[in-house]
Amino acid sequence: MRGRALLAIPVTRASPGLAEQVRAAREDGADLIELRVDMIGDVDAVESLLRRPHDTPYVLTVRAAAEGGCWDSSDDERVALIERLGLLGPGYVDVELATWNRSANLRQKIGLVCEIGEKTVANTRARNRLILSHHDFKETPAELDECLRALLAVPRAIGKAVFTASDATDALRVLGMLRGCDSGRDVIALAMGDAGLPTRVLASKFGGFLSFAARDADSGSAPGQPSIGDLRGLYRWETITERTAVYGVIGWPVAHSLSPLMHNAAMAAGDIDGVYLPLPVKADYGSFAAFMDYVCANPWLDIRGLSVTLPHKTHALRWLESGGGTVSALARRCGAVNTLTLEPGGAWAGDNTDADGALAAIATVPGFAASELGGRRVDVLGAGGAARAIVAALCDRGALVTVYNRTPDKAERLAAEFGCAWLPWEQRCAGAGEILVNCTSLGMWPETEGTPLPNDTLCANAVVFDTVYTPRETRLMRAARTSGCRVVAGVEMLLGQAVEQYRMWHGGVVPRAVMSGVLAQHLR
């Protein structure tokens, strides 16, 4: 296993000046700087840059339009340009496998500026390393090893295989291809798109030669490249080794999740060698089961804990039950699993921390701790997954719960299961609960003017708990404050359930203040 993978930052535009961009990329921590000549456009500026002394190597790339780049002139002109600029000694030259295979004459020209063959040929005029690349902009095919073998057929070349991930399972398969490469050769294996993020973050863990990160949202050279700030800060790039444990959140979509912020910051504070990633898995049960089955079949992935969010909480319960996994009594009662933990024997266990997170949120109001909820009247708006977990937790503590939902049948079924009351949605304004819990999506971004209750129906001194956390202050919460109610923000439940997950996975003292701090900073 090699050391840390190199980190390349692409330069994709001519302005601001190339020298300024290169200097900034070095300061950001780049080991290599990719010069995307086809995207920069200003060949003279690139040539001028390459003529200057440089300590940080460059990757010279002139990608043809047919290969996903921006070069639209003839291939002969492109190869001539690669040869001309390659003579200036950038350090690395990226050429597509399809281009390489096109003709012996072309290979000879590239060979004049790159080290190829078993030994460096005598007439090599510049000692650049050849990166032989293949990009699939449609999919991650079923057979990956064949592509890798073709890339490594050229001695001394660095093989670079880049695919398009449809979901996180594809990303894991690409990592499997990378790990399975035992040739002793330098290999780059990445997946594009949001689902491909694990391949970029975990390159060092599985022996990749390099990964890419963009300086900002406008300068990436491929879909799904993380920013250099996120890669080095949020995901702690410099700390990732083959021993780093992997955690993540499964959902569809999941890019908006704030869990990576909390868990990565908490692991950093707790000096835990781990990284937590968003893992988008398609919405159907089959996709969820395929992801988990791949994880189980490949323990080398070192995935030890998973948060589960919509729409997979019921899928997680079903998967555990079908495979004989352990499910906590609370998760069964909630009918959903939001936390998966790898047990010492290799089996997976499921639990639900949403319920504890909700109780912890309500307990932020003096006098409303979990042990003080017996006999208190609580109105719950909604009958979905979040409502189910909260109703289960409240009823277990002896609260007198009434459920209101826009679909009466769902409210009636939920109430019957937990032995509480229900009333039609239209009667919610007459509720007289000491606690009001909004479990609907009304008021959630981007429909921020939505609200489940008219302003004038809120009772002073009541506790109003809105589980919506984007935006941090919903219209319902603003109205509640104006009416003299005590307000509980949805971020408190988000924080509470994450704290419980951390406790399950890592034990010890939970750095709750750190998790709360990064959450508040982000939402501000």
From 205, 282, 313, 410, active-site residue: 313
What is the spatial distance between Cα 79 and Cα 62, in angstroms, rounded to a whole number? 9
Is 282 catalytic? The answer is: no
- Half-sphere exposure (Cβ direction) of 85: Cα atoms closer than 13 Å: 28
Specify which residues 58 forms β-bridges with.
33, 91
Residue whose C-alpha is closest to residue 109's, from 117, 100, 122, 118: 100
Inter-residue contact 48 to 235 (CB < 8 Å): no
CA 277 to chain CA centroid, Å, is: 4
For residue 314 the two structure tokens come to: 């019921």
Residue type, 282: K
Inter-residue contact 347 to 371 (CB < 8 Å): no
Residue type, 319: W
* Sign, Cα dihedral of 217, 220, 223, 226: negative
Inter-residue contact 91 to 32 (CB < 8 Å): yes
For residue 251 the two structure tokens come to: 């959902």
Residues 37-54 as b/e (b if ≥16 CB within 10 A, e otherwise) read bbbbeeeebbeebbeeeb
Residue type, 92: Y
Residue whose C-alpha is closest to residue 330's, from 322, 338, 319: 338
Inter-residue contact 460 to 477 (CB < 8 Å): no
- The CA-based angle 119-123-128, given to 5 degrees, is 65
CA 275 to chain CA centroid, Å, is: 11
15 CB neighbour count, 10 Å cutoff: 10
Phi first, then psi, for residue 345 (nearest 5°) are -80, -5
Residue whose C-alpha is closest to residue 296's, from 169, 145, 200, 163: 169
What is the spatial distance between Cα 392 and Cα 397, in angstroms, rounded to a whole number? 9
**Which residues belong to the active site?**
313
